[in-house]
């Protein structure tokens, strides 16, 4: 089939749904590729680049929509674009189906199939197609860069000849994909980063990235903020009040606030109020990534940057991914390419729209002349919804002692049994073996026992356990070889020398590998 990408008509949109690289991957699936002239210029991809990748360049959007079986684009289609759909044609783009009933009905009446990229279910198998996460990742990164552009000081602390510069303090509200990207970028730039989320289970993720999780002193244990689908659940009024109280406490000390709290198809919750803005220091910056849905800050103005009377800059841009068009286009086109891979299972250029597939069904909003939105929940949710195992009962000190004593007795019985069995086997061997053999055999058994105890008690600091054990074994080999290297037999001396050489290679190689592993985690 023929896949085409038109130029985006939304004002200021610089992204493109097909790159030369993704086009080559689509061609390997058996599809032909086409693009409207100039569609990739704002993202850094010229028509010549597309031609070199075997993509047909079509002069007008009308011609592209008319000749292509599948149309891939970024923004929600306009009235004109939806009217160009025809029976059997497939549109892949962001579509906003929850608030776009008019266009869904138009597409269904025309017999077209519409795949909404924001409807890709958030399950493990679909991560490669999750365009929302791809764009949110870029938005989180760009938010920090935008904050730095509007912030009058360094992010990292410095000691200079002119004096000491304190590090900036950054608060990230919401630890979803965008929030985690913002946290990673902020800590990389050297800022002291704090992060808050209603889901306490993300605290470890936040702290692993070098930020400090902001905990609330909230007594209601039922308020955990967890939800299905990868988004936080709405908070209770009591929790929200405690949350705002904590933010008011932090506001005077924070230099940069990045808010990312947003649940699809719902107004953005107000988390940074006017009085908090007034508490902030002059020169502080607020980046509101929820501006498209009203903003998390009371004073946010959609698609604008304002400066308050007390000198706080509030940025309400909604096009952060478009401001990094090359990177955004690369990731988004990859998401579409993966979607097409699932739609073309035989790699023969023939689309198989399997409505039994959780991912394809979840993303499809019109198909076969019908509106198929909203989709049923993915079947894999049945696994996620399985009842949790009960926590183990907490034991009293007396019960713990009794349990430990029983375990000790069991271990002792096993050891005595093994020693008795071993002794019996040695006696059996002694009844038939000569005395000279038994002398060496007993030494061998004792050596095995001592070696086992020595090797398994080696501490594996700065090692993997496997490397520590192999080094311990090599050390035992070296000790044995050193004892034998002074033998009068030339062959024994030669073998002992080879053993020492090989074991030394293993030991020094192990430490060299360890050093290289540690170097991977050191900043240059």
1-10, 116-125, 308-317, 441-450: the lowest-pLDDT one: 441-450
158 is catalytic: no
Q: SS3 for 484? A: helix
Q: Which of 46, 79, 125, 127 is catalytic?
A: 127
Q: Which of 24, 27, 49, 122 is catalytic?
A: 122
User: Is the separation of the CB atoms in 68 and 2 below 8 Å?
Assistant: yes
DSSP string over 376-419:
PPPTTHHHHTSPPPPPPPPPPHHHHHHHHHHHHHHHHHHHHHHH
Structure-block tokens of residue 134: 């791809």
DSSP 272: B
Question: Could you tell me the end-to-end alpha-carbon distance of the chain, in angstroms, rounded to an integer?
Answer: 49
Q: Is the pLDDT of residue 230 over 80?
A: no
Which pLDDT score is estimated for 386? 47
130 is catalytic: yes
Task: Quickly state the pLDDT bin for 206 (edges 50, 70, 90).
Answer: very high
**Interval 487-505 mean pLDDT:** 86
Task: Quickly state the pLDDT bin for 225 (edges 50, 70, 90).
Answer: low
Q: Which of 69, 205, 231, 293 is catalytic?
A: 231
Tens of pLDDT, residue by residue over 423-475, are 888 888 888 888 777 777 777 777 777 766 666 666 655 455 566 667 777 77
Counting residues of the chain whose pLDDT is more than 70, the rounded percentage is 89
Contacts of 301 (CB under 8 A, 6+ apart): 291, 314, 316
Which pLDDT score is estimated for 176? 92
Which pLDDT score is estimated for 323? 96
Structure-block tokens of residue 161: 């000849």
125 is catalytic: no
Which pLDDT score is estimated for 523? 55
Task: Quickly state the pLDDT bin for 222 (edges 50, 70, 90).
Answer: very low
Cis-peptide, bond into residue 374, ω within 30° of zero:
yes
Q: Specify which of 46-60, 453-467, 474-488 reaches the highest per-range mean pLDDT.
A: 46-60
Euclidean distance between CA atoms 50 and 29, whole angstroms:
17
pTM as predicted? 0.72
Which pLDDT score is estimated for 433? 81
158-167, 204-213, 438-447: the lowest-pLDDT one: 438-447
Which pLDDT score is estimated for 483? 81
231 is catalytic: yes
In this structure, are strands 370-371 and 364-367 parallel, antiparallel, or unpaired? antiparallel
Q: Which of 15, 84, 89, 130 is catalytic?
A: 130
Euclidean distance between CA atoms 72 and 4, whole angstroms:
6
Structure-block tokens of residue 346: 């035989």
Compute φ and ψ for 455, nearest 5 degrees: -65, -45
**479-491 burial, b for 16+ CB within 10 Å, e for fewer?**
ebbeeeeeeeeee
């Amino acid at each position: 089939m023929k896949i085409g990408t038109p130029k985006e008509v939304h004002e200021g949109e610089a992204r493109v749904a097909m790159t030369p690289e993704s086009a080559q991957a689509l061609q390997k699936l058996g599809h032909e590729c086409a693009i409207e002239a100039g569609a990739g210029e704002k993202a850094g991809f010229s028509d010549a680049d597309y031609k070199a990748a075997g993509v047909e360049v079509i002069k007008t959007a009308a011609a592209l929509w008319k000749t292509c079986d599948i149309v891939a684009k970024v923004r929600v289609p306009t009235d004109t674009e939806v009217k160009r759909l025809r029976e059997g044609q497939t549109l892949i783009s962001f579509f906003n189906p929850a608030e776009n009933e008019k266009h869904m009905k138009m597409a269904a009446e025309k017999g077209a199939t519409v795949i909404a990229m924001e409807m890709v279910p958030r399950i493990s198998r679909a991560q490669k197609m999750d365009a929302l996460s791809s764009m949110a990742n870029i938005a989180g990164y760009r938010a920090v860069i935008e904050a730095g552009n509007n912030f009058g000081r360094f992010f990292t602390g410095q000691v200079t000849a002119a004096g000491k510069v304190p590090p900036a303090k950054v608060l990230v509200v919401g630890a979803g994909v965008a929030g985690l990207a913002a946290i990673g970028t902020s800590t990389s730039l050297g800022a002291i980063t704090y992060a808050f989320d209603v889901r306490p289970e993300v605290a470890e993720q936040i702290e692993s990235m070098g930020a400090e999780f902001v905990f609330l002193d909230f007594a209601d244990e039922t308020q955990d903020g967890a939800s299905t689908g990868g988004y936080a659940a709405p908070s209770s009024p009591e929790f929200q009040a405690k949350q705002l109280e904590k933010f008011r406490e932090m506001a005077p000390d924070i230099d940069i606030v990045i808010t990312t709290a947003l649940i699809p198809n719902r107004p953005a919750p107000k988390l940074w109020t006017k009085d908090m803005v007034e508490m902030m220091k002059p020169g502080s910056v607020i980046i509101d990534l929820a501006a498209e849905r009203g903003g998390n800050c009371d004073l946010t103005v959609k698609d604008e940057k304002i400066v308050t009377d007390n000198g706080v800059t509030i940025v309400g841009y909604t096009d952060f991914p478009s401001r990094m068009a090359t990177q955004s286009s690369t990731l988004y086109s990859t998401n579409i390419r993966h979607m097409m891979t699932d739609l073309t299972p035989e790699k023969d250029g023939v689309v198989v729209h399997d409505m039994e597939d959780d991912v394809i069904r979840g993303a499809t909003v019109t198909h076969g002349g019908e509106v198929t939105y909203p989709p049923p929940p993915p079947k894999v949710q049945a696994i996620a919804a399985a009842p949790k195992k009960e926590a183990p009962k907490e034991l009293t000190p007396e019960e713990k002692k009794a349990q430990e004593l029983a375990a000790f007795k069991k271990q002792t019985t096993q050891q005595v049994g093994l020693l008795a069995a071993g002794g019996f086997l040695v006696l059996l061997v002694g009844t038939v073996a000569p005395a000279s053999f038994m002398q060496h055999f007993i030494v061998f058994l004792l050596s095995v026992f001592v070696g086992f105890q020595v090797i398994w008690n080696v501490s594996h600091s700065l090692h993997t356990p496997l490397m520590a054990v192999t080094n311990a074994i090599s050390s035992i080999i070296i000790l044995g070889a050193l004892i034998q290297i002074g033998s009068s037999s030339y062959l024994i001396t030669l073998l002992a020398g080879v053993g020492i050489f090989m074991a030394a290679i293993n030991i020094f190689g192990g430490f060299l590998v360890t050093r290289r592993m540690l170097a991977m985690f050191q900043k240059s």
